[in-house]
């Protein structure tokens, strides 16, 4: 990416042979620098030059696939600089040393968390199985099999290459964590044979760096960095320093996603684990391994993730339609607002607080706030009438009272003209006033 036209020109044969369709090698190099043509258009580039170019144009952080999910591929340190690309994943921690009853209970508890929030499925994507060195292959396989029955992507942590090989040969696994300075060659062989992502760790960042360089030299670029041991301070420092080195200082060896195990940092302390998971969602954890996943953990953590991994250039939208709140039925009053996710959450939250049954109608307004969409002509008497017609509100709901957001009170007359059967009521300006408004109105 950083290569300029002149740098590329130096690597061309400089013969001006026109075989690439350009008048001169210089013109060709300029186009390549802009990304207008591919370097392969020149049939005379030396393999050495091609290698240099492909290295220089490689993104600073690789994108690694885990099952159907993608990790890494990030280009900025803060979301406002552009956007974060691939959301972090969550993994449930299991250990082969745990009793079967414990493992079953943990799996069952975590599998209960499976819901949808703003068109996104929220669930534990991975299961992390720790197999200690003293464990038998038989036990390891049994536990990993049990985990695999859930259909989630399996991550196995095992530091003994022979043991790891037996397990990954018996059960389909996506990630094998456990390579370090002492065993990287053998672990690399196991991971490569099965096409697994290999998790690498080091006693410090220097050792980690060396091991990754060796693995890359051995041809493995399908890696994930296993962050830290049990110290919260060291793990946080490593997560930030690795990402910073990769994106800001061009340290290629650190251009991989990370895996952090918060169960190890705060064993059994679920509240502290939730705090840590929140920290690593914001600061560069790609897979976050948790000791448990209940709704209490999931609701804030998945909500936060959905916020942080939105593209700042695109508004977040909810599906247009009828949202029956507080047990609303066809006789309950209707209130309409826009499909901007934040508006929906605030308005629906306040309506729920009021306890008054309301049919909340969400109109298609391009994902903008009330005033913005109104100013852009996406939330007008015309679009409201069209929404009522297209979603067949009149056949689904008998009540003919429609509450408008106070900020678009000017639309009242026009909406009444377009919807003559309806009684149009102007609601409050701010969602926070809805509780009182609805209670008084009732």
Partner 1 sequence: MPFTAKPRKFSAGIIEIPLGVGQNAVTIGGGNVLPLYYFDNPAKNPPAVGVEITDTGVEAAGLPELAAYYEGANTPAERAKKAAAMEGADFVCLRFEGADPGGLNRSVADCVAIAKEVVEAINKPLVIAGSKNLEKDVELFSACAEVCSDKNVLFLSAREENYKTIGASCALAYGQKVGAESSVDINLAKQLNVLMTQLGVQPQSIVMNLGSAAAGYGFEYVASTMERVKLAALEQNDTMLQMPVITPVASETWSVKESIMPESDMPEWGSLEERGIEMETVTASACLASGCDAVILRHPTSVKAIAALIAALL
Under the rule (CB under 8 A), what is the footprint of partner 1?
78-80, 112, 117, 205-206, 208-210, 213, 231-233, 236-237, 240-241, 244-245, 249, 251, 253-254, 265, 269, 271-272, 274-279, 281-283, 294-297, 299-304, 306-308, 310, 312, 341-342, 345-346, 348-349, 352-353, 436
Q: Report the nearest approach of partner 1 to the CB of residue 102 (Å).
A: 19
Query: Judged by CB, which is closer to partner 1: 294, or 429?
Result: 294
C-beta separation of 283 from 236 below 8 A: yes
Q: Report the nearest approach of partner 1 to the CB of residue 241 (Å).
A: 4
CA separation for the pair 408, 242 (Å, rounded): 49
Q: Report the nearest approach of partner 1 to the CB of residue 379 (Å).
A: 19
Backbone angles phi, psi at 201, to 5 degrees: -135, 170
CA separation for the pair 424, 240 (Å, rounded): 54
Query: Judged by CB, which is closer to partner 1: 6, or 108?
Result: 108
Q: Report the nearest approach of partner 1 to the CB of residue 265 (Å).
A: 8
| Cβ neighbour number for residue 150 with a 10 Å cutoff | 16
CA separation for the pair 359, 331 (Å, rounded): 9
Instruction: Estimate to the nearest angstrom the gap between the alpha carbon of 346 and the chain centroid.
Output: 23
β strands within 267-400, DSSP E: 287-290, 321-325, 333-338, 358-363
By DSSP bridging, strand 197-200 and strand 223-227 are parallel
CA separation for the pair 259, 284 (Å, rounded): 9
Query: Judged by CB, which is closer to partner 1: 10, or 439?
Result: 439
| Cβ neighbour number for residue 3 with a 10 Å cutoff | 16
Query: Judged by CB, which is closer to partner 1: 221, or 244?
Result: 244
Query: Judged by CB, which is closer to partner 1: 248, or 396?
Result: 248
Long-range contacts of residues 305-310, Cβ cutoff 8 Å, at least 24 apart: 305/87, 305/88, 305/281, 306/87, 306/117, 306/118, 306/120, 308/79, 308/84, 308/87, 308/281, 308/282, 309/79, 309/84, 309/86, 309/87, 309/88, 310/83
Tokens of residue 122, six digits: 């929220």
Query: Judged by CB, which is closer to partner 1: 83, or 222?
Result: 83
Q: Report the nearest approach of partner 1 to the CB of residue 64 (Å).
A: 20
Query: Judged by CB, which is closer to partner 1: 154, or 301?
Result: 301
Q: Report the nearest approach of partner 1 to the CB of residue 117 (Å).
A: 8
Q: Report the nearest approach of partner 1 to the CB of residue 418 (Å).
A: 31
Q: Report the nearest approach of partner 1 to the CB of residue 2 (Å).
A: 19
Query: Judged by CB, which is closer to partner 1: 38, or 433?
Result: 433
């Amino acid at each position: 990416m950083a290569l300029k036209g002149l740098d590329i020109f130096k690597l061309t044969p400089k013969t001006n042979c026109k075989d690439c369709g350009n008048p001169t090698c210089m013109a060709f190099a300029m186009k390549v620098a802009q990304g207008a043509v591919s370097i392969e258009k020149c049939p005379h580039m030396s393999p050495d030059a091609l290698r240099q170019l492909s290295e220089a144009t490689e993104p600073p952080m690789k994108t690694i696939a885990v099952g159907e999910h993608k990790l890494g591929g990030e280009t900025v340190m803060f979301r406002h600089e552009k956007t974060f690309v691939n959301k972090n994943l969550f993994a449930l921690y299991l250990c082969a040393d745990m009793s079967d009853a414990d493992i079953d209970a943990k799996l069952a508890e975590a599998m209960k968390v499976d819901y949808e929030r703003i068109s996104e499925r929220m669930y534990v994507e991975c299961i992390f199985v720790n197999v200690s060195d003293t464990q038998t292959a038989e036990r390891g396989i049994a536990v990993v099999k049990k985990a695999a029955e859930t259909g989630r992507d399996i991550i196995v942590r095992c530091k003994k290459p022979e043991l790891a090989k037996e397990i990954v040969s018996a059960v389909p696994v996506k990630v094998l964590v456990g390579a370090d300075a002492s065993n990287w060659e053998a672990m690399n062989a196991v991971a490569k044979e099965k096409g697994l992502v290999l998790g690498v760790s080091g006693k410090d960042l220097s050792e980690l760096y060396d091991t990754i360089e060796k693995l890359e030299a051995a041809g493995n670029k399908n890696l994930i960095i296993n962050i830290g041991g049990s110290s919260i301070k060291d793990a946080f420092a490593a997560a930030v320093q690795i990402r910073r080195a990769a994106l800001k200082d061009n340290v290629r060896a650190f251009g991989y996603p990370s895996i952090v195990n918060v169960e190890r940092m705060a064993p059994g302390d679920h509240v502290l684990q939730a705090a840590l998971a929140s920290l690593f969602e914001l600061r560069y954890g790609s897979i976050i391994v948790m000791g448990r996943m209940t709704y209490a953990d999931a609701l804030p953590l998945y909500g936060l993730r959905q916020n942080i991994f939105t593209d700042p250039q695109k508004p977040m939208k909810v599906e247009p339609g009828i949202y029956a709140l507080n047990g609303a039925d066809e006789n309950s009053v209707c209130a309409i607002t826009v499909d901007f996710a934040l508006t929906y959450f605030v308005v629906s939250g306040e309506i729920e607080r009021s306890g008054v049954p309301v049919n909340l109608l969400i109109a298609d307004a391009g994902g903008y706030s009330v005033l913005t969409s109104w100013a852009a002509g996406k939330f007008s008497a015309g679009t409201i009438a069209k929404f009522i017609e297209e979603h067949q509100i009149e056949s689904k709901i008998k009540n003919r009272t429609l509450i408008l957001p106070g900020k678009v009170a000017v639309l009242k007359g026009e909406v009444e003209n377009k919807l003559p059967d309806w009684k149009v009521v102007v609601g409050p300006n701010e969602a926070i006033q809805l509780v009182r408004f609805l209670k008084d109105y009732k």
